[in-house]
Amino acid sequence: MQVSNRIEGLNGGGSDGWDVFYRARAMVNAGEPVTELTIGEHDIRTDPTILAAMNAAAMSGHTGYASVPGVAALRDAVALRLTQRTGVATTRDSIVITPGGQAGLFAAHMALCDAGDVALYCDPYYATYPGTIRGASAVPRVVMTRPEAAFQPSYADIAEQAEGARSILVNTPNNPTGVVYDRPTVEGIARACCDFDLWCISDEVYDTQVWEGAHLSPRAMEGMAARTLVVGSMSKSHAMTGSRVGWVAGPAEVIEHMVNLATHTTYGVPGYIQDAALFALKEGPELESRVGAPFERRRRLAQGLLAGQNVVKLVPSGGAMYLMLDCRATGLSGEEFANRLLDTHRIAVMPGESFGAAAAGHLRVAMTVEDAAFEAALTTILTFAKELAA
């Protein structure tokens, strides 16, 4: 029996560059000690106060079908958050609650792109992007960014690919680079969207994790609120990756269609999860700072460790839970470096190539192990790179 071409072609064929990750997992499962700096998952769990709110909501009976667009109080809280943090007046009808940011990314492309429409995304990219676009039957087209420009997409980078495209997916703070888009970048994105009549899908799931600079939402730029969907999530900001709760914010008429899509796909998010998310948002920025603090601390540690040498260069990043290391001076590809590092030192990092061609010769390091182990791993990576470069 034949499955759909859509589902069969989701990964686009070829190696997905995640071999190092799978090999490391196999070693761990076989009982070998591996320092895993691979995926974007906190080394802390969801705060017990959030779990208590979840439990109370479930025990009080919020376990039936929940409101498909999201419970009103949560939509209001998300709208208020966006209004306060981005300066764009946002109301309940501009918000749909989704089972995480990933579902929001898919729903956004479903809402904006017809089958065969070209959807732009920036390289290096979060691993699911091209598959998400293909899943919506759109055609992914890459906007290449450059390490020399700290992987910030420029107006010219976008313009080169924008002819005939329908949408562009951007991500700040960025996974995999940790780069926070500066004002010229965000203004360039906005200008390109207006000039080429593109929808902007803005993945802002790391918006609370900014260690240097400030988070700027493309939606807040002139002329952009009417053509932007913002994807948000509780996963990273509140260490709620397993709860599967996020949102999409945008023009009310688009959100209405997305609620209709949710009715025919997810049927919403469990009520007790939404109540827990509401509790967490109402706790305010203090809880978010606590969740993000380890990454800010480890980034500072890395800056200190990597200062004063040129073999492993830190891409100038300002946020998220990742570091991007430029290891081109060793002469190895990111993939070779990562494989050899795993084999010789039992440290797992992601090759830059896993996230596209732009990050070739780089490594993505997730800052997701406790400080001492993190510091030891980085020290080993640096020593190993120096040996290779010598």
Task: Name the one residue in this structure whose structure tokens are 């306060």.
Answer: 84
Instruction: State the minimum distance, in angstroms, from the CB of residue 164 to ligand PMP.
Output: 26
Q: Which amino acid appears at position 161 of this protein?
A: Q
Q: What is the rounded CA–CA span in Å between residue 349 and residue 146?
A: 21
Is the CB of 246 or the CB of 318 nearer to ligand PMP?
246
Binding site for ligand PMP (CB under 6 A): 40, 100-102, 126, 171, 175, 203, 205, 233, 235, 241, 246
* Nearest approach, Cβ of residue 37 and ligand PMP (Å): 14
Count Cβ neighbours within 10 Å for each residue of 82-99 and write b for 16 or more, e otherwise.
beebbebebebebbbbbb
β-pair type (322-326, 313-314): antiparallel
- Which residue, 202 or 330, has its beta carbon nearer to ligand PMP? 202
Instruction: Give the tokens for residue 187.
Output: 């203004």
CB of 32 to ligand PMP, least distance (A): 25
Closest CA to 50 of 359, 272, 317, 301: 272
- For ligand PMP, the closer of residues 94 and 171 by Cβ is 171
Q: Which is nearer to ligand PMP, 167 or 175 (CB)?
A: 175
Nearer to ligand PMP, 203 or 326 (CB): 203
Closer to ligand PMP by CB, 170 or 255: give it.
170
Please identify, using beta-carbon distances, which residue of 325 and 385 lies nearer to ligand PMP.
Answer: 325
Provide, rounded to whole angstroms, the least separation between the CB of residue 201 and ligand PMP. Answer: 11
Taking the CA atoms of residue 123, residue 229, residue 219 and residue 117 in that order, the dihedral angle to the nearest 10 degrees is 50
The position carrying tokens 């996230």 is 355
Q: Is the peptide bond before 33 cis (omega within 30 degrees of 0)?
A: no
Omega cis (within 30) before 153: no
CB of 33 to ligand PMP, least distance (A): 25
Provide the minimum distance between the beta carbon of 331 and ligand PMP in the complex, in angstroms, as a whole number: 30
Taking the mean position of all CA atoms in its chain, how far away is CA 331? 29
User: Which residues face 202 on adjacent strands?
Assistant: 170, 230
Q: Minimum CB separation from ligand PMP for residue 384, in Å? A: 27
Angstrom distance (rounded) from CA 262 to CA 333? 42
